[in-house]
Structure 1
Amino acid sequence: MYDYISIHSDTYTQKIKVEVLEQYLTSNLGFAKVSYLTFLKDVNGELVKVTGIPANPNGSYDFITLEGIEEVNLVEIDVPRYTDDILEQALSDIARAIAKEFSWIIDDDHGLN
């Protein structure tokens, strides 16, 4: 099991505005904003954290602090330490929804069995 699921634009070139990501996560997927570019949601009794991140063309983090970031090209969903089939399915559904909304891709080693 991996620690997170990565969803990003193809070759990390397409970026979205922070406000667009925030609106989608809170209004469409039911996440609550807990800090800048960080969102939480209770999924089957586990807190799931989603973070918007600016990445360089290699997919590496390209920031010192998230404050002031205006666009992102990577979203990470933290996978809780203990998961079951129901939680894994919910995480997959969230990842697919984000990927579909922004026409992004989910990494092959996406964090789920």
Structure 2
Amino acid sequence: MYDYISIHSEMYFTKIESKLLEHYITSNLGFVKVSHLKFIKEINGQFVKATGIAANPNGSYAFNTLDGIEEINLIEIDVPSYIDEIIEQALSGIASAIAKEFSWIIDDDHGLS
């Protein structure tokens, strides 16, 4: 099991276009697109993955592929198993920036101390 930071619209109601997320996360946050709605960034020697997801109103989801998903209401950022203060601060900054940009919420149980 791994920890992750969950950022989503209130009550998972509002969705954003996948193109908008892609542009913001690559242009403003320095992630590299790996595949549709999957991004990666190296922070202090550790790779951090971010994924855009279409969730139901309860925040649940199940998918085999993200291909064809054009709107999302949830972003998960995987927290690496090794984390130091530099990585933790960077992840907090990324999560806050995404939440602010889209007027979304960072879950209280967000994977960071």
Partner of 1:68: 68
Percentage identity across paired residues of the two chains: 71
Moved over 4 A (4+): none
Does 1:88 find its partner at 2:83? no
Contact 1:56/1:62 (<8 A) preserved: no
Deviation at 1:44, TM superposition (A): 1.1
Deviation at 1:64, TM superposition (A): 3.8
Name the structure 1 match of 2:12. 12
Unaligned runs of 5+ in 1: none
Letter in 1 for 2:26: T
Mapped partners of 1:35, 1:56: distance in 2: 22
Letter in 1 for 2:4: Y
Aligned residue pairs, count:
112
Deviation at 1:65, TM superposition (A): 2.0
Provide the residue aligned with 2:105 in structure 1: 105
Instruction: Give, in angstroms, the shift of residue 26 of structure 1.
Output: 0.5
- In the superposition, the TM-score normalised over structure 2's length comes to 0.96
| Shift in Å, 1:25 | 0.4
Cα distance in 1, alignment partners of residues 80 and 64 from structure 2:
25
Task: Give the whole-Å Cα distance in 2 for the aligned partners of 1:88 and 1:29.
Answer: 15
Which position in structure 2 is the counterpart of 1:22?
22
Mapped partners of 1:87, 1:98: distance in 2: 16
Q: Cα RMSD (Å) of the superposition?
A: 1.0
CA distance in 2, matches of 1:62, 1:104: 21
